């Protein structure tokens, strides 16, 4: 099926269908079209590798005007349960080496230049300020990891090194692909737990998902009323 090249085409991605099921239900009722905009949904799976591959395949099959990644996340600060943020910058935080009681990333090790595209001072920064501002929600720093962080000293190191608000397992891969492909993008995260807290009775997954989907549907409605040129840099 070929998309109308003049129509807004919004791609919604998530690691799991559970995280955005409410939004999918809404879109099914609308037949995946809103105010002339076409909306597509893709589930990329958990983790950086799965996200990078499946997202790349998805956008090459059918290139979107805008891509949105939505999901729940751990938070480094207390008192933000169910809080939704838009991620301004992300980083793969656990790629590197732990030695001499400290962790060094690939930039510390001089294995890559921290300003080699798509990195900016070592971060994967969302440059689409109009898209970030239209959310009307807090912009936050994020880290992405291959292993959910539980170690206290590692948590402290991440906080000192990156000053993150949220942690996920997919966000940096999403930023990386979208930056390379020059697709305007937005990452939304809802806080479901404190990073390092393994007592899941203290997690708020259900209410975090509810808050995420409420904001995601609102965002889709907002984006569908804009012309695609509005979000270009």
Torsion of CA 176, 181, 183, 189, to 10 degrees: -20
pLDDT digits (tens, 9 = 90+) for 162-171: 999 999 999 9
- Contact at 8 Å (CB) between 125 and 89? yes
What average pLDDT does this structure show over 177-193?
Answer: 97
Provide the pLDDT for residue 98: 85
For the chain, what percent of residues have pLDDT higher than 90?
A: 86
Asked whether residue 147 carries a pLDDT value surpassing 50, the answer given is: yes
Compute the distance between CA of residue 228 and CA of residue 137 in angstroms, rounded to an integer: 21
Q: Name the range with the highest mean pLDDT among 61-65, 132-136, 145-149, 174-178.
A: 174-178
Compute the average pLDDT of residues 96-120: 93
Encode pLDDT of 6-27 as tens digits.
Answer: 578 999 999 999 999 999 999 9
Answer whether residue 223 shows pLDDT above 60: yes
Give the pLDDT band of residue 100 (cuts 50, 70, 90).
confident
Domains of the chain (ranges, CATH numbers): 9-227 (3.40.50.1580)
Q: pLDDT value at position 6?
A: 52
pLDDT surpassing 80 at residue 159: yes
Q: How many CB atoms lie within 10 A of CB 37?
A: 21
**Calpha distance 96→13 (Å, rounded):** 28
Q: Are 158 and 166 in contact (CB under 8 A)?
A: no
Q: What is the mean pLDDT of the chain?
A: 93
Average pLDDT over residues 155-184: 97
- In degrees rounded to 5, what are phi and psi of residue 109? -85, 0
pLDDT band of residue 4 (cuts 50, 70, 90) is very low
């Amino acid at each position: 099926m070929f998309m109308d090249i003049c129509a807004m085409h919004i791609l919604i991605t998530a690691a799991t269908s559970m995280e955005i099921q409410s939004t999918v239900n809404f879109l099914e009722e609308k037949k995946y079209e809103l105010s002339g905009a076409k909306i597509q949904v893709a589930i990329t799976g958990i983790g950086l590798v799965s996200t990078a591959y499946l997202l790349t395949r998805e956008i090459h099959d059918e290139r979107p005007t805008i891509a949105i990644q939505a999901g729940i996340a751990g938070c480094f600060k207390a008192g933000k349960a169910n809080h939704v943020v838009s991620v301004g910058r992300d980083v793969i935080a656990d790629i590197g080496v732990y030695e001499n009681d400290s962790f060094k990333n690939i930039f510390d090790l001089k294995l890559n230049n921290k300003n080699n595209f798509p990195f900016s001072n070592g971060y994967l920064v969302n440059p689409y300020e109009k898209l970030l501002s239209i959310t009307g929600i807090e912009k936050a720093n994020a880290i992405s990891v291959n292993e959910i962080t539980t170690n206290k000293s590692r948590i402290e190191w991440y906080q000192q090194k990156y000053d993150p608000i949220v942690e996920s397992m997919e966000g940096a891969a999403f930023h990386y692909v979208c930056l390379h492909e020059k697709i305007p993008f937005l990452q939304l995260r809802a806080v479901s737990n404190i990073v390092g807290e393994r007592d899941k009775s203290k997690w708020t997954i259900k209410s975090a998902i509810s808050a995420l989907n409420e904001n995601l549907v609102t965002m889709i409605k907002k984006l569908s009323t804009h012309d695609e040129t509005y979000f270009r840099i």
